[in-house]
Amino acid sequence: MDIDQIRTFLSVAANGSFLEAANRLYVTQSTVSTRIQRLEAYLGVTLFVRNRSGASLTLPGRRFLRHAKSLLLTLEQARHDIGLPSRFRGSISIGARIALCETLLPEWIGAIRQAMPDISIRSDIGFEEDLMRSLVAGALDIGLMYTPQHSPGLQIEHLFDETLVLLTSDPKQPWPNDDYIYVDWAPGFYAQHSNSYPNLERPAQVVNIGWMAVQLILAQGRGSSFLPVRLAEPLLQASKLFPVADSPQFKLPAYMVSQRDNDAPVLQQVLEQIRALAVLERQKVYALPSQSKVADAT
């Protein structure tokens, strides 16, 4: 039994499919099958029932699931801790969606390091699919994201809600126009957006991260997009962006995902730190420019 077999077992269990596990692990389906067969031979039991709809855990498979998670977490923790300088009592890995990495994650990690200077922190940026795959595989301890996927052994906690506001570089321009940039924030945003603008044609520009929308607006010198007030506040204060009058505001929930059964003291302490920081974030008020300031800009 090796770590690849354990990762493969957890991926099949999480996705209910040998093919989907192969796609997420970037290996062939035959490789997944071989790994599971060798693991089953080592354990002397059948772990999955294969059928047309995918693969489901057998009773021995369900029993092994908890042990597999513990084994992988132990191996990953060992990998993190080996060679760790003696001044650190442990390490933690945190991954986040890029919009949450802008200002928020650096501030939070700074606060965590100030409160816990004796731990080592690894920070990663990724999309939800990558973050969830790393969490399932045990390569990531904590994930911060907008659209988590429910998976056995992972706990999902709501942290706060982003406020998405329609902002433009030129409040004199009527809206909508061809300079609108649609950001694919999440399925929930798509639903709210479609309900508010049922007749809006597909925009000329579509991006999958808010950072790109901001860069396009700044590079082109014009444009509009729905952006979190938290991220756009410096541009609003600098009068580089302005709210579009009478436009709706949408909520985008942010979540924290972590291992449900991992009771390691360092992880639990960091989770408590993040929960406390999320409370402070919920209490913040990000003000939009007054209408008089917008009028002055026109």
Both tokens of 1, joined, read 């039994």
- For 138-156, the pLDDT digits (tens) are 778 999 999 998 888 899 9
Is residue 249 very low, low, confident or very high in pLDDT (cuts 50, 70, 90)?
very high
- For 164, the 3-state DSSP assignment is strand
Is the pLDDT at 162 greater than 90, yes or no?
Answer: yes
pLDDT value at residue 296: 42
* Residue 143: how many other CB atoms lie within 10 Å: 27
Helix, strand, coil % over all residues of the chain, rounded to 5: 45, 20, 30
Q: Does domain 90-298 have CATH number 3.40.190.290?
A: yes
Distances (CA, A) of 13 to 16, 17, 60: 5, 8, 12
Mean pLDDT, residues 204-210:
92
- For 262-279, the pLDDT digits (tens) are 888 999 999 999 999 999
Per cent of the chain over pLDDT 90 is 63
Sequence letter at residue 91:
S
Mean pLDDT, residues 109-115:
95
Least confidently predicted of 65-79, 154-168, 196-210, 283-297: 283-297
Contacts of 27-30 with C-beta under 8 Å, sequence gap 24+, read none
Q: Are 154 and 260 in contact (CB under 8 A)?
A: yes
Distance of CA 203 to the CA centre of its chain: 25
pLDDT value at residue 71: 82
CATH topology of domain 3-81: Arc Repressor Mutant, subunit A (1.10.10)
- For 40-58, the pLDDT digits (tens) are 999 999 999 988 878 999 9
Q: Where in the chain is the domain with CATH 1.10.10.10?
A: 3-81
pLDDT value at residue 145: 95
Judging by DSSP bridges, how do beta strands 242-243 and 154-168 pair with one another?
Answer: antiparallel
Q: Which residue has the higher pLDDT, 138 or 164?
A: 164
Q: Where in the chain is the domain with CATH 3.40.190.290?
A: 90-298
Is the pLDDT at 216 greater than 90, yes or no?
Answer: yes
Q: Which residues pair with 168 in a beta bridge?
A: 224, 242
Q: Are 118 and 148 in contact (CB under 8 A)?
A: no
pLDDT value at residue 254: 96
pLDDT value at residue 80: 63
- Spatial distance between the Cα atoms of 144 and 156, rounded to a whole number of angstroms: 10
- Spatial distance between the Cα atoms of 90 and 121, rounded to a whole number of angstroms: 9
Q: Which residue has the higher pLDDT, 117 or 1?
A: 117
Is the pLDDT at 7 greater than 50, yes or no?
Answer: yes
pLDDT value at residue 295: 39
pLDDT value at residue 273: 96
pLDDT value at residue 298: 40
pLDDT value at residue 113: 94
Mean pLDDT, residues 252-258:
96
The chain-wide mean pLDDT, for the chain, equals: 88
Judging by DSSP bridges, how do beta strands 181-183 and 205-207 pair with one another?
Answer: parallel
Both tokens of 231, joined, read 């991220």
pLDDT value at residue 294: 41
- For 248, counting Cβ atoms within 10 Å of its Cβ (0-12 exposed, 13-18 middle, 19+ buried), the class is middle
Is the pLDDT at 297 greater than 50, yes or no?
Answer: no
- For 178-187, the pLDDT digits (tens) are 999 999 998 8
